[in-house]
């Protein structure tokens, strides 16, 4: 059977909408079968219950915490919770002493750690680097010494650094077990030379490359920061031990002895060059190749504020000419170096890129933590309890019943007002419900969106918002029919006029939902989100389903012929009689019904 040429475009639009719906449900099926998605939308804290974490500030000695500091920490935790896609979480303070985080479901350990981690990144210059695990070397007997004699080594053996000994011993000395770089000999011994006179009167002299420890450092990359205590701590540090850094003191104004995250390398780092509060923004993604294509390397891109940009630029200019490892800048997070690349050129634009052993998810988590700042204090987990829903399934059932009642009232009104045309309203609402359901289920899988009672309320309100768009469209068509236009022309003209009104009304609704989402608290944000989502779906439905379907129906005998039950009967609508005079058209008002003895006609 041949397709009516007037139906081709509407059919293509309907086919495109069907493809979108099938694609979304296919994606949900694949995510359910192969991933962690589920067919039912995730429920919020008030409907499902969840987990309550009580975080206690870690205080040292007589240190105390103020209410302002606690409120600041609460605000940062709220931002981290929202960035992690944990919808419907509640973060409050308790008695001015702790922070209570209530989250729906059961969060994993990574989520808990991300919430309470201080996440203060620091950029420090590397003063020295060595293997994270000290590697003992066998002792040798100096030439000319008798067995059993002892020898004092002239210098420590270099481990993992490009420091070279200035000694020229005539005999071989015992290799040190500490791994202390040659550059730190003076700091460790406090002398300019180290002499050893083993049996056989062999003498060795070490000329350290570092400056006098007593001298005042001139910049964060000055080796004068290495004092005997720092050198001893570096020598003693064994990064292979699980608790090697438990008692570390991270003072931004002093050098830091620390390990890399994987424990394979240890560092002496200078004072902080750029602090974490100078980070303006942070984002994660795949590093771009020179040809513009993305690579498989995950990177975190940072941009600094103005003062941070200057400090980073000055440091990179100074460090690019230093010998290794002093030309390396370590990014320190929670007192551990996550990466320590070297400078190939000065970076003056305030943009930094961090690459390491990141997955895309871990990089995004870290970028979110850095973007939302560092907590003003560290927290320990005091208690972790399961909490029951505050409303429960009974309130959800009542909400669904209210939605069904609302849908039934819209259905009855549409049939009474628009006759058969009202069925288009019902079908449109059903299609909108299918799209809303799959969207919420997919958002629960991809962004951990959870539907709370406020969100259910937004879905119920959306029924009226959706029906309002159809009423505007149908009334425009009926106005055109009253003017005497054929139904097909009335559909096209009515759509052009109604489209502007629908776009304006939905635009206002979406703007209100957006402002409410950005400014309101967590519970109200659920209402705002579902209202904004259904507003966008309403635009999609009225454009890709309602209008194309009405355009096809206008060509049928039932609707196009103005059947009395179609809802578009010209006589019932009081349409004008159109008479043609030459090439023009004259509209004459339909005469009023004549009264008779038996009543009106």
> How is 320-360 classified by DSSP, letter by letter?
TTSPTTTTBEEEEETTEEEE-PBPSS---SSEEEEESS--H
- Give yes or no for residue 300 having a pLDDT over 50: yes
Q: Which two tokens stand for residue 29?
A: 């099926």
- In DSSP notation, 441-479 reads HHHHHHS---B-HHHHHHHHHHHHHHHHHHHHHHHHHHH
pLDDT value at residue 148: 38
Contact 185, 195 (CB under 8 A): no
3-state secondary structure of 540: helix
Contact 21, 434 (CB under 8 A): yes
- Give yes or no for residue 350 having a pLDDT over 50: yes
- Give yes or no for residue 283 having a pLDDT over 80: yes
Distance CA 432, CA 541 (A): 6
When comparing pLDDT for 404 and 574, which is higher?
Answer: 404
In this prediction, residues 107-124 reach a mean pLDDT of 74
The distance of Cα 405 from the centroid of its chain, to the nearest Å, equals 38
Distance CA 451, CA 84 (A): 16
3-state secondary structure of 272: strand
Question: Which has the minimum average pLDDT: 27-31, 59-63, 205-209, 571-575?
Answer: 205-209
Distance CA 126, CA 118 (A): 22
- Give yes or no for residue 363 having a pLDDT over 60: yes
Q: What are the E-state strand segments in 208-293? A: 256-259, 265-274, 279-288
Question: Which has the minimum average pLDDT: 147-161, 348-362, 487-501, 527-541?
Answer: 147-161
pLDDT value at residue 259: 92
Element (H, E) at 383: strand 379-387
Distance CA 54, CA 105 (A): 16
pLDDT value at residue 127: 93
Across-strand partners of 399? none
- Give yes or no for residue 20 having a pLDDT over 70: yes
What number of helices (H) and strands (E) belong to the chain? 16, 16
Which of 156, 148, 155, 145 is CA-nearest to residue 195? 155
Indicate the pLDDT class of residue 255, thresholds 50, 70 and 90: very high
Distance CA 357, CA 74 (A): 30
Distance CA 390, CA 387 (A): 9
Which of 426, 420, 549, 530 is CA-nearest to residue 491? 549
pLDDT value at residue 213: 47
pLDDT value at residue 214: 56
- In DSSP notation, 146-209 reads PTT-----SSPPP-SS--------SS--PPPSS---GGGHHHHH-SS------TTT-------S
Residues 151-173 pLDDT 10s: 333 333 333 333 332 333 333 33
pLDDT value at residue 481: 85
Q: What percentage of the chain has pLDDT greater than the value 90?
A: 16
Average pLDDT, rounded, for the chain: 76
Indicate the pLDDT class of residue 533, thresholds 50, 70 and 90: very high
The distance of Cα 50 from the centroid of its chain, to the nearest Å, equals 22
3-state secondary structure of 502: helix
- Give yes or no for residue 436 having a pLDDT over 90: yes
When comparing pLDDT for 342 and 30, which is higher?
Answer: 30
- Give yes or no for residue 592 having a pLDDT over 80: no
pLDDT value at residue 19: 95
Distance CA 239, CA 243 (A): 9
Q: What percentage of the chain has pLDDT greater than the value 70?
A: 76
- Give yes or no for residue 600 having a pLDDT over 50: no
Contact 371, 72 (CB under 8 A): no
Distance CA 428, CA 434 (A): 10
Distance CA 488, CA 547 (A): 12
Indicate the pLDDT class of residue 292, thresholds 50, 70 and 90: confident
Contact 568, 487 (CB under 8 A): yes
When comparing pLDDT for 365 and 118, which is higher?
Answer: 365
In this prediction, residues 63-91 reach a mean pLDDT of 76
pLDDT value at residue 12: 92
Q: Which two tokens stand for residue 30?
A: 């694949």
> How many Cβ atoms are within 10 Å of 57's Cβ, its own excluded?
20
Q: Specify which of 143-152, 268-277, 360-369, 462-471 reaches the highest per-range mean pLDDT.
A: 268-277
Contact 58, 380 (CB under 8 A): yes
pLDDT value at residue 576: 63
Indicate the pLDDT class of residue 195, thresholds 50, 70 and 90: very low
Sign of the alpha-carbon torsion through 526, 528, 530, 532: negative
Contacts of 328 (CB under 8 A, 6+ apart): 125, 126, 129, 319, 340, 341, 342, 343
Omega of the bond prior to 356 within 30 degrees of 0, cis?
Answer: no
pLDDT value at residue 393: 65
Ramachandran quadrant class, 456 (left: phi over 0; alpha: psi -120 to 50; beta: rest): alpha
Distance CA 470, CA 561 (A): 21
Indicate the pLDDT class of residue 596, thresholds 50, 70 and 90: very low
Distance CA 433, CA 293 (A): 39
Distance CA 364, CA 283 (A): 7
Contact 366, 41 (CB under 8 A): no
Contact 89, 132 (CB under 8 A): no
> Alpha carbon of 549 to those of 417, 419, 427, 573, 595: distances in Å?
19, 16, 10, 22, 40
């Amino acid at each position: 059977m041949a397709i009516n040429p007037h139906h081709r475009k509407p059919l293509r639009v309907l086919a495109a909408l069907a493809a979108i719906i099938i694609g979304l449900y296919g994606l949900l099926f694949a995510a359910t079968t192969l991933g962690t998605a589920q067919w039912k939308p995730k429920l919020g804290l008030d409907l499902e219950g969840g987990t309550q974490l009580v975080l206690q500030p870690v205080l040292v000695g007589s240190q105390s915490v103020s209410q302002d500091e606690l409120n600041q920490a609460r605000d940062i935790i709220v931002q981290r919770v929202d960035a992690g896609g944990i919808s419907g979480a509640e973060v409050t303070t308790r008695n001015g002493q702790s922070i209570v985080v209530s989250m729906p479901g059961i969060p994993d350990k990574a989520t808990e750690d991300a919430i309470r981690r201080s996440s203060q990144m620091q950029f420090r210059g590397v003063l020295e680097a060595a293997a994270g695990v000290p590697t003992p070397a066998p002792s040798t007997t100096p030439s000319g010494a008798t067995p059993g004699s002892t020898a004092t080594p002239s210098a420590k053996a270099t481990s993992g650094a490009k420091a070279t000994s200035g000694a020229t011993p005539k005999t071989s000395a015992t290799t040190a077990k500490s791994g202390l770089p040659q550059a730190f000999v003076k700091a460790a011994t406090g002398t300019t030379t180290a002499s050893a006179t083993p049996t056989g009167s062999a003498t060795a002299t070490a000329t350290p490359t570092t400056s006098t420890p007593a001298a005042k450092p001139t910049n964060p990359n000055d080796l004068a920061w290495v004092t005997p205590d720092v050198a001893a701590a570096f020598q003693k540090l064994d990064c292979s031990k699980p608790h090697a850094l438990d008692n570390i003191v991270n003072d931004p104004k002093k050098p830091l002895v620390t390990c890399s995250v994987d424990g394979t390398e240890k560092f002496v780092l200078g004072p902080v060059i750029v602090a974490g509060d100078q980070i303006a923004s942070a984002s994660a993604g795949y590093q771009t190749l020179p040809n513009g294509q993305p690579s498989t390397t995950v990177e975190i891109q940072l941009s600094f504020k103005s003062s941070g940009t200057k400090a980073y630029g000055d440091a990179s200019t100074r460090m690019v000419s230093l010998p290794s490892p002093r030309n390396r800048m370590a990014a320190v997070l929670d007192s551990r170096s996550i990466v320590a690349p070297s400078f190939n050129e000065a970076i003056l634009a305030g943009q930094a890129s961090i690459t390491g052993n990141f997955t895309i998810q871990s990089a995004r988590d870290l970028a979110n933590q850095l973007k939302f700042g560092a907590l003003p204090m560290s927290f320990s987990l005091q208690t972790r309890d399961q909490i029951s829903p505050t409303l429960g399934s009974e309130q959800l059932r009542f909400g669904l019943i209210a939605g069904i009642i609302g849908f039934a009232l819209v259905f009855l009104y549409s049939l009474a007002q628009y006759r058969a045309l009202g069925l288009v309203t019902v079908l449109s609402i059903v299609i909108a419900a299918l799209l809303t359901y799959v969207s919420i289920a997919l958002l629960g899988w991809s962004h951990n969106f959870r539907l709370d009672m406020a969100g259910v309320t937004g879905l119920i309100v959306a029924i009226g918002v959706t029906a309002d768009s159809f009423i505007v469209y149908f009334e425009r068509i009926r106005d055109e029919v009253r003017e005497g236009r054929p139904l097909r022309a009335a559909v096209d003209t009515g759509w052009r006029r109604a489209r502007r009104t629908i776009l304006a009304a939905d635009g206002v609704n979406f703007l209100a939902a957006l402002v409410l989402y950005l400014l309101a608290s967590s519970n109200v944000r659920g209402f705002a989100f579902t209202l904004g989502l259904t507003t966008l779906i309403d635009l999609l439905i009225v454009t890709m389903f309602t209008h194309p379907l009405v355009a096809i129906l206008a060509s049928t005998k039932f609707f196009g012929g103005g059947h009395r039950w179609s809802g578009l009967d010209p006589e019932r609508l009081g349409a004008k009689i159109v008479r043609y005079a030459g090439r023009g058209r004259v509209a004459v008002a339909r005469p009023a019904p004549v009264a008779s003895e038996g009543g009106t006609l």
